Amino acid sequence: MKTMNVAIIGTKFMGKAHSNAWLNAPRFFDMGIKPVLKVACGQNESDLRTFAERWGWEEIETDWRAVIERDDVDIVDISVPTYLHHEIAVAAAKAGKHIFCEKPFAITVEEAKEMYETADQAGIVHYINHNYRRCPAVRLAKQLIDDGKIGRIFHWRGAYLQDWIVDPDFPLTWHLRKETAGSGPHGDLNSHSIDLARYLVGDIKSVSAIMTTFIKERPLPGEGAATFSAGSGAATEMGQVTVDDASFMIAEFENGAIGSFEASRFAPGRKNYNYFEIYGSEGSIVFNLERMNEIQLFQRNDPPEAQGFRTIIATEGGQHDYIANWWPPGHIIGYEHEFHHAVVDFMDAIENGTSIAPNFYDGLKEVEVLAAGTKSAETGARVEL
């Protein structure tokens, strides 16, 4: 079997999720090219060595530039915070490396545009990891929409809610600084919702948004503070929160549908509530990531006495994408499996010389919508794209 060497840059939350997929995808899927976990790159050499040994990375490196310059690296996996994406992605593309990049895509439209144009000119395979597109249930929703099962789409209603910073003592991690995150849940959580809306409904024409920051100051972070984790030994010194804590955006799609996007990290009880409803002339579809193997489907042409939302569980191999490579019917899959599906599709695109979606173009379109929402919140005006 042909192999290609992968370098991962970033070893925390997403570094683990990606490593698991690179390691195990060939064990479940027949792949024409097998990924080799060649080198892991991070800042702390001791932690990096532990990470590499746990996940099977052959070598370690603390300088991402040295990784990209290596002739034996074919694929660069960017799993670092958003503010680092641009420089790494542009350098990797110029070096001719295929790129597997985490979301949110970029801090600004200008950065996103350069990332896309550089990757496109380099002729590489470039992918932005909006993993929820690769839930079998979401793929089923797409199939039903494309087959006309819910008719002309009128409404998109999306909400992505979490609660991990409700505590005012949660520290000022990089997620809460504009210079490192770009924005709060508007850019982080809404990036997923916008990608799903573009995938299922279509491109967005205009937006109007409001945003707020509920807690203006937080203690500076201590040792080990990270996504979802306050760490220990937080300082008594305070710092300014410079991103939104919650946002609400309404949108008009190019096809005439209208939609709403709600994003918050101040929704107690909601850990990772990625939810959407799509309403059309012939029916409706509902998805909730917390029940990710299911969709709810309503169809107006059902007999009146039998009408109602019905639950479809997307775990039938041969009927639902990817499932044949996992478990028998009815045996559900989880969050980590979406990353496996992304790795399989990414390697298939390299093998066959095709593209993969969402790619850096989709990342650019996503950042354009997010930036328009931010501008609308700042000006109070509706913004055309």
Query: Does the pLDDT at position 129 exceed 60?
Result: yes
Q: What is the pLDDT of residues 180-216, one digit of tens each?
A: 999 999 999 999 999 999 999 999 999 999 999 999 9
The percent of residues above 70 in pLDDT, for the chain, comes to 97
Tally of domains in the chain: 2
Considering the domain architecture, whether residues 142 and 191 belong to the same structural domain is answered as: yes
Considering the domain architecture, whether residues 92 and 140 belong to the same structural domain is answered as: no
What's the per-residue H, E or C state across 146-196?
HCCCCCCEEEEEEEEECCCCCCCCCCCCHHHCHHHHCCCHHHHHHHHHHHH
The percent of residues above 90 in pLDDT, for the chain, comes to 95
Write down which residue in 132, 164, 184 finishes a domain: 132
Considering the domain architecture, whether residues 190 and 176 belong to the same structural domain is answered as: yes
Q: Mean of the per-residue pLDDT values for the chain?
A: 96
Write down which residue in 115, 132, 149 finishes a domain: 132
Q: Is residue 384 part of a domain?
A: no
Q: Is residue 385 part of a domain?
A: no
The predicted pLDDT at position 1 comes to 79
The predicted pLDDT at position 148 comes to 98
In the predicted model, what is the mean pLDDT of residues 367-385?
98
Write down which residue in 132, 163, 192 finishes a domain: 132
Considering the domain architecture, whether residues 234 and 315 belong to the same structural domain is answered as: yes
Considering the domain architecture, whether residues 100 and 141 belong to the same structural domain is answered as: no
The predicted pLDDT at position 229 comes to 65
The predicted pLDDT at position 236 comes to 73
Q: Which domain holds residue 339?
A: 133-355+366-379
CATH number, domain at 104?
3.40.50.720
Contacts of 252 (CB under 8 A, 6+ apart): 204, 205, 206, 207, 258, 259
CB atoms within 10 A of CB 45: 11
Q: What is the pLDDT of residues 208-243, one digit of tens each?
A: 999 999 999 999 987 766 666 666 655 678 999 999
In the predicted model, what is the mean pLDDT of residues 172-186?
93
Q: What is the pLDDT of residues 134-166, one digit of tens each?
A: 999 999 999 999 999 999 999 999 999 999 999
Considering the domain architecture, whether residues 215 and 345 belong to the same structural domain is answered as: yes
Question: For the chain, where are the E strands, in sequence order?
Answer: 2-9, 33-41, 59-61, 75-78, 98-101, 126-128, 153-161, 204-212, 217-219, 238-240, 246-253, 258-264, 273-280, 283-288, 294-299, 310-313, 383-384
Q: Is residue 185 part of a domain?
A: yes
Considering the domain architecture, whether residues 145 and 256 belong to the same structural domain is answered as: yes
Contacts 24+ apart (CB under 8 A), 324-332: 325/28, 325/29, 326/28, 332/293
Contacts of 119 (CB under 8 A, 6+ apart): 89, 93, 99, 126, 359, 360
Are the C-beta atoms of residues 1 and 71 closer than 8 Å to each other? no
Lowest mean pLDDT among 58-67, 121-130, 228-237, 362-371: 228-237
Considering the domain architecture, whether residues 231 and 118 belong to the same structural domain is answered as: no
End-to-end CA distance of the chain: 46
Lowest mean pLDDT among 93-107, 166-180, 215-229: 215-229
The predicted pLDDT at position 222 comes to 76
CATH number, domain at 274?
3.30.360.10
Q: What are phi and psi of 259, to 5 degrees?
A: -155, 170
Q: What is the pLDDT of residues 286-319, one digit of tens each?
A: 999 999 999 999 999 999 999 999 999 999 999 9
The predicted pLDDT at position 231 comes to 65
Alpha-carbon 80 to chain mean position? 13
Q: What is the pLDDT of residues 16-70, one digit of tens each?
A: 999 999 999 999 999 999 999 999 999 999 999 999 999 999 999 999 999 999 9
CB atoms within 10 A of CB 251: 25
Q: Is residue 39 part of a domain?
A: yes
Q: What are phi and psi of 13, to 5 degrees?
A: -55, -55
